[in-house]
C-alpha cells in the first residue's frame, strides 16, 4: 500500500520531467539542443509565483475549473495500475468511474472556456467536445473488449489479468492494435500534433490551447500540471498494456513470479525492481514516440481528425474480432 503510494507520488512528481522528453525528442530530431529537462518545473514555479488576473465577465466556475480538473486527474491516477502492480483504489465498475472523472474535468474546463464569453474559446470548446466524444467511442470499445475477456469491471484487472487472457487467447496482434488505438487516443486527448498543435499561435486553429487563453498565474500552472498528469495517465495505460506478462518476466531468474491479485487494497505483492524499470522504460519510449510522431508529421486539417480517430476505431474492432473466439 505504502509502496504504491510512494511510487505514485514519484511518478506524479516526475511527470513534468517526462513531459519534457517530448520536446527534447523533437529538438533532437531537428538537430537542436532543446529545453533543459527541468524546464517544466521552472515554468510551473514561475507560474505559481505570479498573481492571478481574472476577467470581469467570469463566474465562479472559471475559478474552480482548474482545481476540479486537477483533483479529478489525481483521483484517476489512484486507480491506475503501475506496471503489473495493483492500484491504490479499486472497486467494481471503476472503469466507468475513471472515464467519467476524466470527462468531468474536461467538462469543467469546457464550461470555463465558454464562461469567458470569448468566441474563440467557444469554438475551441466545441472542437474539444466533438473530438473527445469520438475518442470516447474508441475507449469504450476497448474496455468492452476487455470486459468480454475478463468479465470484470476493474481497470486493474484489465491490465493485469486481461492481458494474460489476451496473451493466452490469441496472439500478439490484438495487443499491438489496442496499443496503437490507445496511442491515437493519447494524441487526441492530450492535444498533441496530428490532432492539435500545442505550439500554435493562431487562435482560429487551436483546440485545447484556446480554451485556456484567459487563465494566468497559478491557475495556468495547475492546468499545465494537469495536462502533464493526463499525458502520464494515458502513457501509463499503454505501457501497462505493453508490459511483458509475468511468465515472460520470470524467465529472468532474480524476479519471482508475481501472483496476480485484484480487489480492494490487496497489495501484498513485492514489486520486483526490474519490473518497475521495464515499466518506466516503456513509459519513456511512449513519450519518445510522441515526440517522433510530432516531428515527423504536421497536424491534420480539422476535417481529417475524425478519420484519424475512426482508423483507431477500426483497429479496436479488428482486435475485438481477433479475440472473439479462438
Partner 1 sequence: MIDLQVGFLSLILLLNILTLGSSRLKILIKNVAVAGTLVSILPLLFSYPKIAAASVAFAAVMMLVKGFIIPGLLYFSIRKVSDPIEQVPIIGYHISVIIGIVFILLALLISSKLSLHHLPSSPTTLTRDLLFATAISTIFVGLFLLMTRWKAITQVLGYLIMENGIYLLGTIVVGHMPYILEVAVLLDLLVAVMIMGIVLLNINETFNDIDTSLLVARSGSGSRSGMESESGYSKDQQND
Please classify residue 5 by burial: count the beta carbons closer than 10 Å to its beta carbon, then call 0-12 exposed, 13-18 middle and 19+ buried. Answer: exposed
Q: Return all residues near 256 (Cβ < 8 A) that are at least 6 apart.
A: 250, 270, 272
In whole angstroms, give the CA distance from residue 68 to residue 183.
25
Nearest distance, CB of residue 324 and partner 1, angstroms: 8
**Between 62 and 183, CB nearer to partner 1:** 183
From 168, 171, 266, 296, residue interacting with partner 1 (rule: CB under 8 A): 171
Fill in the per-residue mask, 115 to 154: x = in contact with partner 1 (CB under 8 A), - = not in contact: ----------------------------------------
- What is the secondary structure of 143-165 as a DSSP string? HHHHHHHH----HHHIIIIIHHH
β-bridge mates for residue 85, sequence order: 82
318: contact with partner 1 by CB under 8 A:
yes
- Does position 306 interact with partner 1 (CB under 8 A)? The reply is yes
Nearest alpha-carbon partner for 151 in 194, 211, 95, 228 = 95
C-alpha cell at 239: 505501457
Interaction of residue 314 with partner 1, rule CB under 8 A: yes
Q: In this complex, which beta carbon is closest to partner 1, that of residue 151 or of residue 171?
A: 171
Cα–Cα distance for residue pair 317/160, rounded to 1 Å? 22
Strand partners, 82: 85
Interacting residue with partner 1 among 11, 172, 187, 264 (CB under 8 A): 172
Interface with partner 1 in residues 2-41 (CB under 8 A): none
Q: Is 173 in the site for partner 1 (CB under 8 A)?
A: yes
- State which residue, 265 or 324, has the beta carbon closest to partner 1: 324
DSSP label at 201?
A: -
Interface with partner 1, residue 321, by CB under 8 A? yes
Residue 183 in the binding site for partner 1 (CB under 8 A): no
Say whether residue 166 binds partner 1 (CB under 8 A): no
Q: What are the residues binding partner 1 (CB under 8 A)?
A: 170-173, 177, 306-307, 310-311, 313-315, 317-318, 321-322, 324-326
Amino acid at each position: 500500500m505504502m509502496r504504491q503510494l510512494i511510487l505514485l507520488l514519484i511518478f506524479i512528481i516526475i511527470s513534468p520531467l517526462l513531459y519534457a522528453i517530448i520536446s527534447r525528442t523533437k529538438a533532437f530530431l531537428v538537430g537542436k539542443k532543446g529545453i533543459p529537462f527541468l524546464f517544466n518545473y521552472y515554468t510551473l514555479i514561475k507560474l505559481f509565483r505570479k498573481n492571478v488576473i481574472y476577467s470581469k465577465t467570469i463566474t465562479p466556475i472559471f475559478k474552480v475549473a482548474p482545481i476540479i480538473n486537477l483533483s479529478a486527474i489525481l483521483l484517476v491516477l489512484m486507480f491506475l495500475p503501475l506496471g503489473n502492480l495493483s492500484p491504490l483504489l479499486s472497486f467494481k465498475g471503476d472503469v466507468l468511474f475513471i472515464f467519467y472523472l476524466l470527462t468531468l474535468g474536461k467538462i469543467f474546463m469546457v464550461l470555463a472556456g465558454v464562461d469567458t464569453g470569448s468566441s474563440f474559446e467557444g469554438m475551441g470548446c466545441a472542437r474539444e467536445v466533438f473530438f473527445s466524444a469520438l475518442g470516447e467511442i474508441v475507449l469504450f470499445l476497448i474496455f468492452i473488449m476487455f470486459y468480454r475477456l475478463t468479465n470484470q469491471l476493474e481497470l486493474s484487472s484489465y491490465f493485469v489479468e486481461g492481458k494474460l487472457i489476451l496473451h493466452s487467447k490469441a496472439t500478439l496482434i490484438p495487443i499491438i492494435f489496442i496499443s496503437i488505438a490507445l496511442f491515437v487516443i493519447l494524441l487526441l486527448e492530450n492535444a498533441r500534433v496530428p490532432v492539435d498543435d500545442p505550439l500554435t499561435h493562431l487562435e482560429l486553429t487551436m483546440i485545447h490551447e484556446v480554451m485556456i487563453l484567459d487563465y494566468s498565474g497559478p491557475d495556468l500552472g495547475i492546468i499545465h500540471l494537469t495536462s502533464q498528469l493526463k499525458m502520464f495517465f494515458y502513457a501509463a495505460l499503454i505501457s501497462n498494456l505493453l508490459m511483458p506478462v509475468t511468465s515472460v518476466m520470470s524467465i529472468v531468474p532474480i524476479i519471482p513470479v508475481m501472483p496476480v491479485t485484484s480487489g480492494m487494497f490487496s497489495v501484498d505483492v513485492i514489486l520486483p525492481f526490474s519490473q518497475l524499470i521495464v515499466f518506466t522504460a516503456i513509459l519513456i519510449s511512449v513519450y519518445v514516440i510522441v515526440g517522433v510522431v510530432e516531428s515527423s508529421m504536421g497536424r491534420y486539417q480539422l476535417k481529417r481528425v475524425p478519420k484519424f480517430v475512426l482508423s483507431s476505431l477500426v483497429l479496436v474492432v479488428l482486435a475485438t474480432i481477433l479475440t472473439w473466439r479462438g
